[in-house]
A and B are shown apart, each in its own frame.
Chain A
Amino acid sequence: MSSAPGLPVPAGRTGAMVRSDFLQRFLAFGALIVLILFFQVWCVLIGTNFLTFENFVNILVATAVVGIMALGETFVVITGGIDLSVGTVMTISMVMTAVAITSQHLPVPVGILVGILTGGLMGLANGVLIARFRIAPFIATLGILNVARGLSLVITQTRPIYFPNNPEFQSGVMGNLFGLKISGEFGFPNIAIIMFGAALVAAFMLGKTALGRYTFALGSNEEAARLSGVNVANWKMLVYVVCGLFAGLAGVLSAARLGSAQPATGFGYELSAISAVVIGGTSLSGGEGTILGTIIGAFIVYVLTYGLQFVNVAQEWQIVVTGGVLIAAVYIDNLRRRQRV
């Protein structure tokens, strides 16, 4: 195959460099497009259509909660750490929002704040354990995973909490901006707008603030950062707090979507979030990663989940394929890295 006609073909070394740069930037994005085309072809062959606005909206809604969780996880993974607790921290945030709104009769915005701050608090616990008590992130966050999971069950006495008196909470998050309908009954869902907004905030924090710079510094060479006078412990704690805050926001949105706090849910979401981060090209060994990559990674995870169901692949196989894609994504990303070095 040759390049499209009319485009100047860079020769020799320059061409290779351009290609490598292109791959680096758009590998994940290209994979997402290929995946969508793959399902479209499959759908056409079985006589249906994947590229509908309804499917687009369903995928956006399905991605939002884990996508937001993955934003915070990106910061942690760039420092070379890991946060296994995001799934159940999301749950306890959901529960605290519900408690605030129902049994404490606080207004919905306060409930939302309580949920997000609960996430931040759990993140702080992770941060203190890791930065102050020097417990390995894997173990510390595994512990907090269980603490949050158990507390959610204790607080709710294992039953879901509903908020039938606050329908505006659910309709606000699940509705469309200005009630605008784009195609039939479907408009652009607010929950997706919130996700993209959160992604912009995360990208700003990572790219333009001191926090972002130190996040990369910790991941590239923590010792060097320490020697050059960076207060490593404090910045690390802050990174886990940020991760918790995003998990808290995810919990609030999940509560709104389900019209309830589900105390037994959330466990296992952390693996989807970490998959999204890694598929998005963030290195588990730290020092490298982008928010855009993570968002694309989250979409890859959910386009795959949704698409496989849409074309009626048996569920057992859906799980197998999801695992295979994760491994393939990380392998291709490794190749890309090696190529660049």
Chain B
Amino acid sequence: MKRFLSLAVVVVLAAAACSSGSGTAAPAAKPYISIVSKGFQHQFWQAVKKGAEDEATKENATVNFMGPNTESDVQPQMDMLNAELAKKPAALCFAALDSKAAGPTLQKFKDANIPVIAFDSGVDSDIPLTTVATDNVAAAALAADKMGDKLGGKGKVGVIIHDQTSRTGIDRAKGFVDEMKAKYPNITIIGPQYGGGDLAKSADLAKSMLAANPDINGFFGGNEGSIGGVLNAVTELHLDQTKLTIIGYDSGQKQIDAINSGLEYGAVQQSPIGIGQKCVVYAMKAINGETKFDKVIDTGFLWADKTTINNADVQAVLYK
């Protein structure tokens, strides 16, 4: 019994020491915003977190960013939502692993009049006031503009996308193809073909496109894996890289190297920092009583080529 009591006292003292030191105590005036993400370990999510925390400091709010260990942990994400709801946050920013599974829990936030801002892939529900995400259609259209300019408005461009089922795959293919057709009618598009974001599969697609159309002078790859496949194909076939304009999406060491060496002309970069920042901006607006927002808030994207890749704003969104 004695030992128990002393153990209890030690633990309680430790608790006191920890919390007075950790400074988690938030004055009541500072609004508390919960951010439940799809993960926390990937560089992409860490960048979202940084954007949110910086903006929170600016707006005098407290944010708590969390996400499950893996993107298949649907149930732990529900437990996180429950714990955050119990803290009565001023607002919730949420990227659902599974929108439908999260439905009943989100309803509880709505019932408690806690505004919900969706981010990244969004939430398939009418509860969120808005969705903060990359406008993939516009970002892919920028890639088409860069391609069209570089080719002088004529030529043949192969398009390789990761898939035709995910939102990002659909939007990027549409953004690129539509912009090209509208603005550069003399450029012929081969594809889009879908390689599952897999390096080998995407490389095979690029090779078969080249075999059927030896006069191809441009490639667009819709994500890291797709463009990586194109780069592999071009390297393996020992093609003359000065005759090809290759444009990619996102970063990764391979693309960064290819852009620096001149093999790849450039790539469109999403801005995870911008996603985190805008989440907090719109959460604060909602806390201050605004309810009417655009359905989607674009968080912007950047163009990285040999001349811009070392700029601070581009470096900030690159990941390896």
Whether both chains belong to one complex is answered with yes
Residues of A whose CB lies within 8 Å of any CB of B are: 1-3, 19, 22-23, 30, 34, 37-39, 41-42, 45-48, 52, 54-55, 58, 61-62, 65, 160, 162, 164, 170, 174, 185, 254, 257-260, 262, 264-265, 267-268, 305-306, 309-313, 315, 319
CB distance from A311 to the nearest CB of B (A): 6
Would you call B104 and A268 a contact (CB within 8 A)? no
B18 contacts A42, C-beta separation under 8 Å: yes
Q: Taking the complex as formed, is B40 at the interface, i.e. its CB lies under 8 A from any CB of chain A?
A: yes
Q: Out of B14, B19, B78, B100, name the residue touching A257 (CB < 8 Å).
A: B78
**Which residues of the partner chain B approach A39 to less than 8 Å between Cβ atoms?**
15
Of B2, B12, B80, B98, which one neighbours A41 at CB under 8 angstroms? B12
The smallest C-beta distance from A291 to any residue of chain B, in angstroms, reads: 23
The answer on a CB contact under 8 Å between A306 and B83 is: yes
Question: Shortest CB–CB separation between residue B19 and chain A, in angstroms?
Answer: 4
Enumerate chain B residues within 8 angstroms of A1, measured Cβ to Cβ: 2, 5-6
Nearest CB of B to A167, in Å: 10
Asked whether B212 is an interface residue with its Cβ less than 8 Å from the other chain, the reply is: no
**Which residue of B has the minimal Cβ distance to A35?**
B11
The closest CB in chain B to the CB of A55 belongs to B86
Contact B12 A265 (CB under 8 A): no
A265 pairs with B15, CB closer than 8 A: no
Binary contact readout B282-300 vs A (1 if CB under 8 angstroms, 0 otherwise): 0000000000000000000
Interface of A is mostly: helix
> Is B4 touching A258 in the complex (CB atoms < 8 A)?
no
Closest chain A residue to B66, Cβ basis: A315
Q: CB-CB < 8 A to B25: which residues of A? A: 45-47
Chain A binder among B68-76, B173-181, B220-228, B250-258: B68-76
Which B residues are in CB contact (< 8 Å) with A185? 108, 111
A38 x B12 contact (CB < 8 A):
yes
A174–B83 CB distance below 8 A: no
Find out whether the CB atom of B19 lies under 8 angstroms from the CB atom of A265.
no
Tell me which residues from 39 to 75 in chain B have a Cβ below 8 Å from any Cβ of chain A.
40, 64, 66-67, 69-70, 72-75
Are A58 and B19 in contact (CB-based, < 8 A)? Answer: no
20 contacts between A and B (CB under 8 A): A1-B5, A19-B3, A37-B12, A38-B12, A39-B15, A46-B19, A54-B85, A54-B86, A61-B82, A185-B111, A257-B78, A259-B101, A262-B98, A262-B101, A265-B73, A267-B72, A309-B83, A310-B83, A311-B24, A312-B24
Q: Tell me the minimal C-beta distance from A25 to chain B in angstroms.
A: 12
Rounded to whole Å, the gap between the CB of B290 and the closest CB of chain A is 27
Are B75 and A65 touching (Cβ within 8 A)? yes
Compute how far the CA of A65 lies from the CA of B79 in the bound complex, rounded to whole angstroms. Answer: 12
Q: Is B4's CB under 8 angstroms from A58's CB?
A: no
Q: Flag if A19 contacts B1 (CB, 8 Å).
A: yes
* A residues near B108, Cβ cutoff 8 Å: 185
Complex CA distance for A313 and B2, rounded to whole angstroms? 31
Shortest beta-carbon distance from B112 to chain A in Å: 9
Q: Considering only CB atoms, which chain B residue lies closest to A2 in the complex?
A: B2
**In the complex, B316 has a CB within 8 A of chain A:** no
Residues B74 and A3 in contact, CB atoms below 8 Å apart: no
| Chain A residue nearest to B74 in the complex (CB) | A262
